[in-house]
Amino acid sequence: DTGVSQNPRHKITKRGQNVTFRCDPISEHNRLYWYRQTLGQGPEFLTYFQNEAQLEKSRLLSDRFSAERPKGSFSTLEIQRTEQGDSAMYLCASSGTSGGPTDTQYFGPGTRLTVL
Amino acid sequence: GESVGLHLPTLSVQEGDNSIINCAYSNSASDYFIWYKQESGKGPQFIIDIRSNMDKRQGQRVTVLLNKTVKHLSLQIAATQPGDSAVYFCAETRGQGNLIFGKGTKLSVKP
């Protein structure tokens, strides 16, 4: 399978715990995006990377959230001190045959986070 | 605030009929539009895109129409099939790369 992969697919945690999600983009895609989707809503942009550089962060990305893409390949999204309001589907997408903003973004299956 | 939105939250069609899903956007600076299909428990799946210098684009059984005058986008699905049942999102980008999604339209296909 050469699509975007995300792990884990499901995560249940208790409030206050830290969680980390991983995204493996399509090989050689230089842009990687994180989105959050709550039930009944469209995905909301969180942040994106061009290679290893984090170029933009949404105001939704509070100080408890941090994302990395250290080698310009896979990325991790960490949420510290989780809150019930963090419960959502976290989606990763990658793009970048030309490296431009209008390259098609292909999404992974998402990680569903439930904070108890 | 500015957002990409949809006129109808749900759409029910008979198998074999054509479906039309509409979307309104508010920012005339948007230059790229995409339609995604999302099935339950899965990530959004790319269907078709269109750039702002185009009015129409066709794919396999799908057509996207862009009316910049009234800031309207539509997705037409020909000969709708049960496998087309899903939530459809339009999304726009304004040059930064991050997509701005609407709330989605749920398409139900009756056999």
The interface residues of chain A toward chain B in range 62-101, judged by CB-CB distance below 8 A, are 91, 93, 95, 100-101
* CB < 8 Å from B in window 3-22 of A: 4
Q: Say yes or no to pLDDT of B4 above 80.
A: no
List phi, psi (to 5°) of A10. -135, 145
Residue B26: pLDDT band with limits 50, 70, 90:
confident
- Residue from B99, B100, B103, B106 whose CB has the most chain A CBs within 10 Å, to mutate: B99
Could you tell me the pLDDT band of residue A101, with boundaries at 50, 70 and 90?
low
Q: For chain A, give the secondary structure using H, E and C.
A: CCCCEEECCEEEECCCCCEEEEEECCCCCCEEEEEEECCCCCCEEEEEEECCEEEEECCCCCCCEEEECCCCCCEEEEECCCCHHHCEEEEEEEECCCCCCCCCCEECCCEEEEEC
Give me the percent of chain B exceeding a pLDDT of 70: 91
pLDDT grade for A98, boundaries at 50, 70 and 90:
low
Whether pLDDT at A99 is above 90: no
pLDDT at B17 over 90: yes
Length in residues, chain A: 116
Closest CA to B92 of B69, B72, B63: B72
Partners of B104 on chain A (C-beta within 8 Å) are 40-42
Across the interface, which of A43, A101, A108 has its CB nearest the CB of B97? A101
Distance CA A26, CA B81 (A): 29
The mean predicted confidence, pLDDT, of chain A is 92
Q: Which residue of A has its CA nearest to B95?
A: A101
Shortest Cα distance, chain B CAs vs residue A99, angstroms: 10
Nearest CA in chain B to A39: B103
